[in-house]
Protein backbone atom coordinates (compact mmCIF):
# COMPACT_ATOMS: atom_id res chain seq x y z
CA UNK A 1 0.00 0.00 0.00
CA UNK A 2 1.26 3.45 -0.92
CA UNK A 3 1.22 5.80 2.05
CA UNK A 4 0.78 9.49 1.20
CA UNK A 5 2.03 12.08 3.67
CA UNK A 6 0.84 15.66 3.27
CA UNK A 7 2.54 18.68 4.75
CA UNK A 8 1.97 20.96 6.43
CA UNK A 9 -1.11 19.87 8.34
CA UNK A 10 -2.35 23.44 8.49
CA UNK A 11 -1.34 26.46 6.43
CA UNK A 12 -2.30 29.89 7.76
CA UNK A 13 -2.21 32.49 5.00
CA UNK A 14 -3.88 35.72 3.91
CA UNK A 15 -5.88 36.26 0.72
CA UNK A 16 -3.55 37.07 -2.16
CA UNK A 17 -0.70 35.00 -0.76
CA UNK A 18 0.80 31.92 -2.41
CA UNK A 19 0.07 28.48 -0.97
CA UNK A 20 2.38 25.52 -1.46
CA UNK A 21 1.13 22.10 -0.37
CA UNK A 22 3.24 18.96 -0.39
CA UNK A 23 2.33 15.30 -0.86
CA UNK A 24 5.02 12.66 -0.47
CA UNK A 25 4.50 9.01 -1.38
CA UNK A 26 6.12 6.01 0.31
CA UNK A 27 6.85 4.55 -3.13
CA UNK A 28 6.64 5.74 -6.68
CA UNK A 29 3.13 6.54 -7.91
CA UNK A 30 2.40 4.55 -11.04
CA UNK A 31 2.16 6.71 -14.17
CA UNK A 32 2.01 9.77 -11.90
CA UNK A 33 -1.64 8.98 -11.23
CA UNK A 34 -1.85 11.57 -8.48
CA UNK A 35 -4.90 13.75 -7.93
CA UNK A 36 -5.65 16.74 -5.72
CA UNK A 37 -9.08 17.51 -4.27
CA UNK A 38 -10.56 20.47 -2.45
CA UNK A 39 -13.19 19.93 0.21
CA UNK A 40 -15.24 22.56 2.02
CA UNK A 41 -17.33 21.84 5.14
CA UNK A 42 -20.47 19.89 4.40
CA UNK A 43 -19.57 19.42 0.74
CA UNK A 44 -18.27 16.59 -1.39
CA UNK A 45 -14.66 16.80 -2.55
CA UNK A 46 -13.97 18.54 -5.86
CA UNK A 47 -11.30 17.33 -8.27
CA UNK A 48 -8.70 20.01 -8.94
CA UNK A 49 -5.73 18.23 -10.53
CA UNK A 50 -5.23 14.78 -12.05
CA UNK A 51 -2.21 13.10 -13.54
CA UNK A 52 -0.13 15.18 -11.12
CA UNK A 53 -0.33 18.33 -13.23
CA UNK A 54 -3.48 18.53 -15.37
CA UNK A 55 -6.21 20.88 -14.20
CA UNK A 56 -9.71 19.41 -14.15
CA UNK A 57 -12.48 21.03 -16.14
CA UNK A 58 -13.42 24.46 -14.86
CA UNK A 59 -10.57 24.79 -12.38
CA UNK A 60 -8.99 28.27 -12.33
CA UNK A 61 -5.41 28.57 -13.52
CA UNK A 62 -4.24 29.83 -10.12
CA UNK A 63 -4.24 26.13 -9.17
CA UNK A 64 -1.28 24.15 -10.47
CA UNK A 65 0.17 20.74 -9.77
CA UNK A 66 3.69 19.49 -10.23
CA UNK A 67 5.96 16.61 -9.34
CA UNK A 68 6.55 13.01 -10.25
CA UNK A 69 7.55 9.73 -8.70
CA UNK A 70 7.20 10.25 -4.96
CA UNK A 71 7.10 14.05 -4.52
CA UNK A 72 4.16 16.17 -5.57
CA UNK A 73 3.10 19.76 -5.00
CA UNK A 74 -0.13 21.72 -5.29
CA UNK A 75 0.38 25.45 -5.66
CA UNK A 76 -2.29 28.12 -5.38
CA UNK A 77 -0.67 31.22 -6.84
CA UNK A 78 -2.88 33.85 -5.17
CA UNK A 79 -5.39 32.77 -2.59
CA UNK A 80 -8.97 33.85 -3.13
CA UNK A 81 -11.46 33.86 -0.22
CA UNK A 82 -13.16 30.74 -1.63
CA UNK A 83 -9.88 28.77 -1.61
CA UNK A 84 -9.78 28.35 2.16
CA UNK A 85 -10.59 24.68 2.57
CA UNK A 86 -9.03 21.27 3.13
CA UNK A 87 -6.95 19.75 0.34
CA UNK A 88 -6.28 16.06 -0.18
CA UNK A 89 -3.92 14.23 -2.48
CA UNK A 90 -4.84 10.76 -3.73
CA UNK A 91 -2.98 8.16 -5.73
CA UNK A 92 -5.05 6.05 -8.11
CA UNK A 93 -2.24 4.26 -9.91
CA UNK A 94 -2.36 1.11 -7.85
CA UNK A 95 -4.83 -0.62 -5.60
CA UNK A 96 -5.56 0.16 -2.85
CA UNK A 97 -6.15 3.77 -3.79
CA UNK A 98 -4.95 5.94 -0.94
CA UNK A 99 -5.26 9.50 0.32
CA UNK A 100 -3.07 11.81 2.27
CA UNK A 101 -4.40 13.01 5.61
CA UNK A 102 -5.19 16.46 4.24
CA UNK A 103 -3.87 20.01 4.52
CA UNK A 104 -6.14 22.70 5.90
CA UNK A 105 -5.61 26.13 4.37
CA UNK A 106 -7.00 28.66 6.82
CA UNK A 107 -7.26 32.42 6.89
CA UNK A 108 -4.50 34.07 8.87
Partner 1 sequence: EVQLVESGGGLVQPGRSLRLSCTASGFTFGDYTMSWFRQAPGKGLEWVSFIRSKAYGGTTEYAASVKGRFIISRDDSKTIAYLQMNSLKTEDTAVYYCTRAYSGSDYWGQGTLVTVSS
Binding footprint of partner 1 on the chain (CB under 8 A):
33, 35, 37, 39, 44-47, 50-51, 54, 56-57, 88, 90, 92, 95-102
By C-beta, is 17 or 94 nearer to partner 1? 94
The least distance separating partner 1 from the CB of residue 16, rounded to whole angstroms, comes to 28
Are 37 and 48 in contact by the 8 Å Cβ rule? The answer is: yes
CA–CA distance, 82 with 54 (Å, rounded to integer) = 21
CA–CA distance, 107 with 14 (Å, rounded to integer) = 6
By C-beta, is 35 or 79 nearer to partner 1? 35
Amino acid sequence: EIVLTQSPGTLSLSPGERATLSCRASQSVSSNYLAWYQQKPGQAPRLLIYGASTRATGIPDRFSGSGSGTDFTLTISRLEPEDFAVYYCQQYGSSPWTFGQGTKVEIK
